[in-house]
Amino acid sequence: MKREIRDLTLEELQAELAALGERPFRAGQIFSWLYHKGASDFGEFSSLSKGLRDMLAARFTISRLELEARLESSDGTAKFLFKLADGPCVEAVLIPAGKRKTACISTQVGCKFACGFCASGLHGFRRNLTPSEITGQALALRAEAGGEITNYVFMGMGEPLDNFDNLAKALRIMNAPEGMGIAARRMTISTAGYVPGIARLKELDLQVNLSVSLHAANDRLRDRLMPIYRKYPLEKLVAACEDYIRSGGRMITLEYVVIQGVNGGLNDADGLAGIARRLRAKVNLIVYSPVPGLAFDVPPEADVARFTRWLEERKVRVTRRRSKGQDILAACGQLAGRFTEKAETAGRPRPVKES
């Protein structure tokens, strides 16, 4: 059976070529055709001999993600729904903000962790994305943006650190100069608090950014909002973050979605400020995006401003992130959820939750 060539890192491709009696530097040429020139057929690889092109075509495929839907918001945010070869869909989002253009990428179909406020968790977990399915979103969004993406965040559907091996391969391919050539500091991994993944990320020889989705600063509330808490309580998570920071002088950002009447009180500000100061972390405050079917509401602006002020009074660096693309189901998992519902109605299998 043929393998997907874009699932291989540069080093893996070099090893494959060496086993075929080819010079390893050919791997760089192949990467250039795949990631710089966007070739989709081995016949286009004109810098390679006909013999090598035929050998590659006999062993590998070059896949592309199929665009199922594209929605554009009035604020310029564009959401893309890609259909995978085996049927399910994943989302990626392109978010313009001033001079920045951020690509938000998915790493799993659905999610195991079922956070109470998130659309991705609503339909359960189906499978991990492969390295080529992860980089495929980045390639498609880069083409869409005319090559001008400034940041890549792994904050779409799924828990990136729960798909660590494929994520790490995708990061290497995206970072390699022969690949997409994206600086590690321009890539951010977001975790809901998957402690074993944080420990593994610490060992990765790429200085990517880590962002921790906290959303609750005490055990009782985190238990209610984020079931991952039951396995990895706050103290374990904060200790893993401290270990991560110590290991390489790296910084962490805390993400905090403010939900009306849930996590924006004075006690919450005290708890969040304590954790942020302990980790010397900046806090990104995000106003909740409503998800149909979930019983959470958007807080009034005055409440968010007051919460921001409380944090600042407690010496926390706070950045307010605007929720973008509200008119296009931009909250993570909403668009894919819509299509999953359609697919289920059409008799396709329902995504299953891992036990």
Please report which residue ranges of the chain form alpha helices under DSSP H.
Answer: 10-19, 26-31, 50-59, 131-144, 164-175, 195-203, 219-225, 234-248, 266-279, 301-313, 334-345
Contact between 113 and ligand SF4 (CB under 6 A)?
A: yes
From the list 73-81, 157-165, 177-185, 300-308, the region that binds ligand SF4 by CB under 6 A is 157-165
| Spatial separation of the C-alpha atoms in residues 139 and 132, rounded to whole Å | 10
Residue 42 or 113 having the CB closest to ligand SF4: 113
> Least distance to ligand SF4 from the beta carbon of 105, Å?
12
Pairing label, strands 125-128, 78-83:
unpaired
Letters for 314-343 (x = contact with ligand SF4 by CB under 6 A, - = none) are: ------------------x-----------
Residue located via tokens 């690949």: 179
| Spatial separation of the C-alpha atoms in residues 3 and 135, rounded to whole Å | 16
Contact between 111 and ligand SF4 (CB under 6 A)?
A: yes
Contact between 221 and ligand SF4 (CB under 6 A)?
A: no
Contact between 121 and ligand SF4 (CB under 6 A)?
A: yes
DSSP for 122-184 reads GG-EEEEPPHHHHHHHHHHHHHHTTT---EEEE-SSS-GGGGHHHHHHHHHHHHSTTTT---G
| Spatial separation of the C-alpha atoms in residues 95 and 350, rounded to whole Å | 30
115 is catalytic: no
Task: Pick the binder of ligand SF4 from 39, 114, 206, 239 (CB under 6 A).
Answer: 114
332 is catalytic: yes
Contact between 158 and ligand SF4 (CB under 6 A)?
A: yes
Structure tokens at 50: 């006909």
Residue 5 or 262 having the CB closest to ligand SF4: 262
| Spatial separation of the C-alpha atoms in residues 125 and 127, rounded to whole Å | 6
DSSP for 69-81 reads EEEE-TTS-EEEE
Contact between 162 and 121 under an 8 Å Cβ cutoff? The reply is no
Within 234-273, the residues that bind ligand SF4 by CB under 6 A are none
Task: Pick the binder of ligand SF4 from 5, 103, 105, 115 (CB under 6 A).
Answer: 115
Contact between 111 and 157 under an 8 Å Cβ cutoff? The reply is yes
> Least distance to ligand SF4 from the beta carbon of 107, Å?
9
Letters for 274-313 (x = contact with ligand SF4 by CB under 6 A, - = none) are: ----------------------------------------
Contact between 168 and ligand SF4 (CB under 6 A)?
A: no
Enumerate the active-site residues. 91, 332
- In the complex, which residues of this chain contact ligand SF4 (CB under 6 A)? 111, 113-115, 118, 120-121, 157-159, 192, 332
